[in-house]
Each structure stands twice: as structure tokens, then as C-alpha cells.
Chains A and B, each alone.
Chain A
Amino acid sequence: GESVGLHLPTLSVQEGDNSIINCAYSNSASDYFIWYKQESGKGPQFIIDIRSNMDKRQGQRVTVLLNKTVKHLSLQIAATQPGDSAVYFCAENWPEYGNKLVFGAGTILRVKS
């Protein structure tokens, strides 16, 4: 799972397995959530986003689930591949502050071949 702080959680999965990365967000007013993937030394890349009027959204091999009741977000990656190895960040918008995005600390995903 993901938490704000100095320790990056790590998820290790076998190639071909499904991965689930979790994120707890803090702002009840947030109505937009987004997942990014960041490879070492590069800028974050967009994976998928979801608005608060939805609880599930699917992309190519990825699914985002939103549980507003417990302020929880998850990213599911199907048939994880070595190229999926990276740091994954969730972010929530803060409408009361110009919709700025507030990022979590990230989760390291390691895919074992």
C-alpha cells in the first residue's frame, strides 16, 4: 500500500501475475484521482484517472477502483510484465486550492521474471 512519508512500500510480483497497488487519500472534497508511473530518472507518465462520480474505470490492462467511503484508491495491473517495474503514484485534487494535485509518496513495483 501507499502512505505519505519517508518509506516507500515495495510490491514484488511474478511476471504474469496481477498486481494491486493501494492508496489512501486524505481530502473528502477531492473529486478527481489519477495514477502515474515513474521510471528511474524520468518524469511521471499518466496511467489512468477517475472522477468521484465513478467507482471503477478500466484501461488497457489497468483498472482503477475508488472507494469514497473509506477514501481508498487502488490500481490493478493485469498480467504484470517486466516493463511495468517502476514507482507508481496516486494523486488527488484539492478543489479548495485551485484543484492542485497532491501526490502520495509512491509504491515501488518490482516484477520478477
Chain B
Amino acid sequence: DGGITQSPKYLFRKEGQNVTLSCEQNLNHDAMYWYRQDPGQGLRLIYYSQIVNDFQKGDIAEGYSVSREKKESFPLTVTSAQKNPTAFYLCASSMGTAPGELFFGEGSRLTVL
């Protein structure tokens, strides 16, 4: 089955620790995205990548980092610099940069203890 796989689904972290969330897609999509979702708010864009080895900051990139070494993989690192990291993180992909549907993973819930 083609789709997007995020792992882990639940993650707990102590303050001051970095954590990396995995996102893998087998849809052969060029573009990949990371969104953050907080209760009562819409999805906010953290980072996106339109092609391998290239990525751009979204609206709330501070305290996060990404890499795009392979077309199918777009991991997100939540660093200790992120002031309020507890949230639901969603990875998505799309065929290209033209307007079109984003395909979402099932999300990763990060809780900082």
C-alpha cells in the first residue's frame, strides 16, 4: 500500500533533549511537509521540501531542523531550543509544487515531561 508512515506515534521527552520524528513516503512524491497542530488551532507549517537536498522554512521553523537526503524521507528534529514542543506533528507529501492534495501521515504526538 502506498502512503506516508510516521514514527513513533507517541513520544515522551525530557526538557533539554532533542528528538527526531521520522516520516517516510512511498508515493514517489517530490514535495514533503511538516506541520504542527495544537488544540483549537489549524495546522501550522514548520518546514517543507520541494526536492531532495533542499528545504525551506515555514511559518514556525524556530527550534526545529530537517533534512532531505532521500526523496522518500523527511525527518524532523525538535531541538531543545523549541520553547513549547508538546504538540501533534503531521507529515505530508504532494506530487509537486503545483496546487494539489496533500497526503498526510497519521501523526506523532510529542509530550515534553
Contacts and interface: CB of A to CB of B under 8 A. Distances in A.
A91 B42 CA distance: 9
A54 to B, nearest CB: 13
Nearest to A31: B99
B99 A43 contact: no
B99 A103 contact: no
A34 B42 contact: no
Interface in A12-45: 31-32, 34, 36, 41-45
A32 B41 CA distance: 21
A109 to B, nearest CB: 15
A43 B40 contact: no
A99 B50 CA distance: 11
A32 B100 contact: yes
Contacts of B42: 4, 89, 102-106
Nearest to B56: A98
B101 A34 contact: yes
Given A98-B48, A100-B48, A100-B58, A7 B102 contact: no
Nearest to A30: B99
A64 to B, nearest CB: 13
B97 interface: yes
Contact of B40 (A7, A46, A93, A102): A7
B45 A43 contact: no
- Which 8 residue pairs spanning A and B have beta carbons closest together? A32-B99, A43-B104, A103-B42, A103-B43, A93-B99, A105-B42, A43-B106, A6-B40
Given A32-B100, A105-B40, 10 more contacts: A34-B101, A43-B4, A43-B105, A43-B106, A45-B104, A95-B99, A100-B48, A100-B58, A103-B35, A103-B43
Interface of A: 4-8, 31-32, 34, 36, 41-46, 49, 51, 89, 91, 93, 95, 98-106
